[in-house]
Amino acid sequence: MGVLSFLTSFAPLHSSETERLAAPPPVLHDGRRDTPRLHFRLRLSSSFSPHQVCLILHSPTSHRLRLSLQNLVPPQTPMATSFKNNYRCVPFLQQFYEGGAFVVSSDASFIACACGDSIKIVDSETAAIRSTVEGGESEVFTALALSPNDKLLFSAGHSRQIRVWDLSTLKCVRSWKGHDGPVMGMACHLSGGLLATAGADRKVLVWDVDGGFCTHYFTGHKGVVSSILFHPDPNKQLLFSGSEDGNVRAWDLMSKKCVATLGHESTVTSIDISEDGWTLLTAGRDKVVHVWNLHNYTCKKTVLTYEVLEAVLVIHSSSDFASCVGSFSKKREETSASSEIYFITVGERGVVRLWSSESAVCLFEQKSSDVSTKMDEGNRGFTAAVLLPSNRGLLCVTADQQFIFYSPVKTLKDEMSLIISRRLIGYNEEIVDMKFLGDDEQFLAVATNVEHIRVYDIASMSCSYILAGHTEIVLCLDSCVSSSGCTLIVTGSKDNNVRLWDVESKTCIGVGVGHMGAVGAVAFSKKRRDFFVSGSSDRTLKVWSFDGLAEDESRPVNLKAKAIVAAHDKDINSIAVAPNDSLVCSGSQDRTACVWRLPDLVSVVVLRGHKRGIWSVEFSPVDQCVVTASGDKTIKIWAISDGSCLKTFEGHMSSVLRASFLTRGTQLVSCGADGSVMLFTVKTEERIAVYDQHEDKVWALAVGKKTEMLATGGSDGAVNLWYDSTALDKEEALRKEEEGVLKGQELENAVSDADYTKAIQIAFELRRPHRLYVLFSELCSKNDSENHVGKSLSALGKEEFRLLFEYLREWNTKPKLCHVAQFVLFRAFSILPPTEISEVKGIGELLEGLIPYSQRHFSRIDRLVRSSFLLDYTLTGMSVIQPENDANDKPPVDIVMKTKTTDIKLLDEHREPENNTLSKKRKSRSKTSSKKKAKGVAYTEVAAVPLAS
């Protein structure tokens, strides 16, 4: 039987449980003394069961009290909550298209889009950015084209520089200038050897791609040339260009002349050629499509479309539209199938229409537009369209930077219909608010600076659908799962209205009208989920009821406000409802947060203490407190009972815009105007982690209820998903520790085997600079040290050489270590050629750290060498050493050489007699001193020293 002798902390009680346990416990009388019976709730870990556990409590008087296990509450949630120490960021939505030039690859696997001063290579399935081509700070791209094999990307912009990029290396392989103005259109020949460019200078030029020189120079247009197209048949050397002067010109590349001029009444926007190559279709802003016979360049048919067109696309037999179009040809038996051409047009109305060239009638038209932006002169529906290969459907680009992929399907009545297979958003502008949807949290609802809500599928990273209905920008939103299991969304907008949406039907089921200002905050009920609260710039709070909602309503009902109160002196920025629906808290620009009792909105307490406006409020999931985030760069936790400030969190360098509880109220996550996301521990007020993945203000923060996955978005238009990586980091650290132990043992084995090359490589892998110094020091002390060090350095790679130079820079700063550093540095420069040294990352900075200390060391050695000459002079003056004589006049020399601990004796048997007396006196006078000097020169090897004659 397991014994638990320690009583864990009590779980918080709900209000109903508190009332049930508030009565005094009964007291039993056994005739001798009163024995109180303990009443409390205890939560146990799920690994224990009542029949396995015996709880024993020790009273202050050391009497044992046995606890009955009959009324123990089974565990609902684990008592021990693991803290989150780290999050990993995964980019979810990124800006990749700001309007203008784009081009689709031949297999439709990726799209190259102009985005500011760069080109984004985007995956057409997931909208993930594969790579980025940097064009320069002042470059704005106006035209793009791809080679037929998708290996080369051609770009041009306002700088008039035509560049060729290698997509495998993302480097510019060649560039040249040719136009006198921006290039507005580009097209690559099927052979890949020619590139045609159309410019704002009214010229059409053809270039040799490999040589970068102009092969054809065409003039004649009287306006900006905006569209250009090579004939798809390589045998027909024709080039077509359309201009704002309303003309389409056909250029013969062989004769280098204009062979035909085809007219429109307005700007020509699109050109396409039939599958057989003998029919040309041109569309313009004069709301017509002309069908031209390329045999004699005459107009065969004019199709009135009654809308400004941006693209005309011929349906080929290989397209997935061809099978759907077959049903139209069967119904029209009087038309010759051989001469009839089907084509698609898109334009300002934002609908896709299919036409017949012979009958000049519209065979198919979308019932409603999928473009949700307002139609005005500067914001049209579709701006471009491309028929994708490999039965991938139709791609339409909207004026608000959406890429909509359509797929044709047949209905039960054998009619054609278009469904949206994917929707990629190229530019989200400013992310204002976001929330996870449903219990599984597979979708993310995002409010941006547009009048609709975009709902994204987290798995596919594409926009699943759009909730359109507001007439102004949506400022806030909230989501919940109702008691009936339906996922609901409530939104507040600048149009002063709130709207209630059903996610399943993707329709608006209720509209709340009554606010006199923009609705800046909304919050659903947390428990009953039958009402929501809204706050507005008119400084009022309103409680809206779901009463009157019907599931089968075809039109949204008018929601009714159950309560209203003038809550603040300035705009209301945030609202939060308590977990038990008894309270609601509102934060305002008037620097206060107010707690109100529901449903009548009676004031409970006013939280005062912030020095700037409050941007975010939220109730704790376990305690009776509220967290607020303010523009004064602080986060505060307040007690609801008396309105006192319990804790203050600092760390942000600018306004804190959002703050939310994590880990059952034991942690906080916040984001601010400085673009940072921070993680705090409530108990210790410690800042655990700081993340800087945004480039601008982070306005929106969403927290998953189950997984506690985070989503952040802000003024940079990007949305990042954050996953808890605490467990993964621990596993990774454990794995690295195990690998380090094994590598360390391998290093010791290599040293034992005297395999210094392998040992040095392992030391680099383990990032152990001290161990490296010891190894190099041992190599330097060996015979033939140059070869040993050179052999070890030859096995290193570029990254290891970079680390080596960093270590050498540190060793070189210390006189005790510099001799080894200089020796290894000399061998490294001897082995590596200058070209490879220059390719080492950060070599300039490393050399700047090496040169000054090296100069200092060489200066010090030079001073020591010069100082050693004084010793030679002194010894010469003492006749210990004499200058060398000529080889032919060298007297016999007897040398007795002793080192370290012995004296050096100089014996001369060939002294002349007259000098004997002088030499004896000199010996007797300097006998002691010469011995001391000889002993003092330790570790010195004396060569042949001639005796004085």
Q: What is the pLDDT of residues 635-665, one digit of tens each?
A: 999 999 999 999 999 999 999 999 999 999 9
Match 């290989």 to its residue by tokens: 318
CATH number for the segment(s) 265-328+339-414: 2.130.10.10
pLDDT above 70 (res 920): no
* Better-predicted residue by pLDDT, 337 or 660: 660
Average pLDDT over residues 659-681: 95
Spatial separation of the C-alpha atoms in residues 944 and 693, rounded to whole Å: 74
Number of H helices, E strands in the chain: 11, 64
By mean pLDDT, which of 76-85, 455-464, 747-756, 867-876 is the weakest? 76-85
Dump pLDDT digits (tens) for 276-294.
Answer: 999 999 999 999 999 999 9
DSSP 379: B
Report whether 665 contacts 620 (CB < 8 A): yes
Spatial separation of the C-alpha atoms in residues 317 and 323, rounded to whole Å: 8
Task: Report the chain's mean pLDDT, rounded to a whole number.
Answer: 82
Report whether 45 contacts 75 (CB < 8 A): yes
| Residue of 449, 442, 938 whose CA lies nearest to 714 | 449
DSSP 726-776: HHHHHHHHHHHHHHHHHHHHHHHHHHHTT-HHHHHHHHHHHT-HHHHHHHH
Report whether 437 contacts 425 (CB < 8 A): no
DSSP 10-66: PPPPPHHHHHHH-SPPPEEE-SS-EEEPP----B--TT--GGGEEEEEE-TT--EEE
Residue type present at position 658: R
Spatial separation of the C-alpha atoms in residues 531 and 547, rounded to whole Å: 9
Report whether 555 contacts 508 (CB < 8 A): no
The structural domains of the chain, with segments of one domain joined by +, span 100-263, 265-328+339-414, 754-860
Strands 53-58 and 2-4: parallel
By mean pLDDT, which of 330-334, 774-778, 780-784, 917-921 is the weakest? 917-921
Residue 773, CA distances (Å) to 363, 475, 782, 832, 885 in order: 81, 61, 15, 20, 46
Dump pLDDT digits (tens) for 67-89.
Answer: 443 343 344 444 445 789 999 99
pLDDT at position 553, please?
A: 67
What are the φ and ψ backbone dihedral angles of 808, each rounded to 5 degrees?
A: -60, -35
pLDDT band at 687 (very low <50, low <70, confident <90, very high): very high
Residue type present at position 651: G
* 785 Cβ contact list (under 8 Å, min separation 6): 779, 823
Task: With residue 83 as reference, give the H or E element that holds it.
Answer: none
Dump pLDDT digits (tens) for 232-285.
Answer: 998 889 999 999 999 999 999 999 999 999 989 999 999 999 999 999 999 999
Spatial separation of the C-alpha atoms in residues 833 and 165, rounded to whole Å: 29
Report whether 341 contacts 348 (CB < 8 A): no
Task: Compute the C-alpha angle 433/439/445, nearest 5°.
Answer: 25
Within 816-949, residue ranges assigned H as helices are 818-831, 834-839, 843-877, 916-936
pLDDT above 80 (res 468): yes
Report whether 493 contacts 499 (CB < 8 A): yes
Dump pLDDT digits (tens) for 771-827.
Answer: 899 999 988 888 888 888 888 888 888 888 888 999 999 998 888 888 898 989 988
Spatial separation of the C-alpha atoms in residues 712 and 673, rounded to whole Å: 12
pTM above 0.85, yes or no: no
What dihedral do alpha carbons 146, 152, 156, 162 form, nearest 10°? -130
CATH class of 100-263: mainly beta
- State the SS3 of 281-294: EEEECCCEEEEEEC
* 239 Cβ contact list (under 8 Å, min separation 6): 187, 196, 204, 206, 216, 218, 228, 229, 230, 231, 250, 251, 253
Mapped onto helix, strand or coil, the DSSP state of residue 112 is: strand
Spatial separation of the C-alpha atoms in residues 484 and 492, rounded to whole Å: 23
Average pLDDT over residues 372-385: 69
* 715 Cβ contact list (under 8 Å, min separation 6): 430, 431, 696, 697, 699
Mapped onto helix, strand or coil, the DSSP state of residue 897 is: coil
Spatial separation of the C-alpha atoms in residues 905 and 887, rounded to whole Å: 23
Residues paired with residue 238 on neighbouring β-strands, in sequence order? 252
pLDDT above 80 (res 209): yes
pLDDT above 60 (res 49): no
Spatial separation of the C-alpha atoms in residues 521 and 432, rounded to whole Å: 11
Same fold, 100-263 and 265-328+339-414: yes
736: left (phi over 0), alpha (psi -120 to 50) or beta: alpha
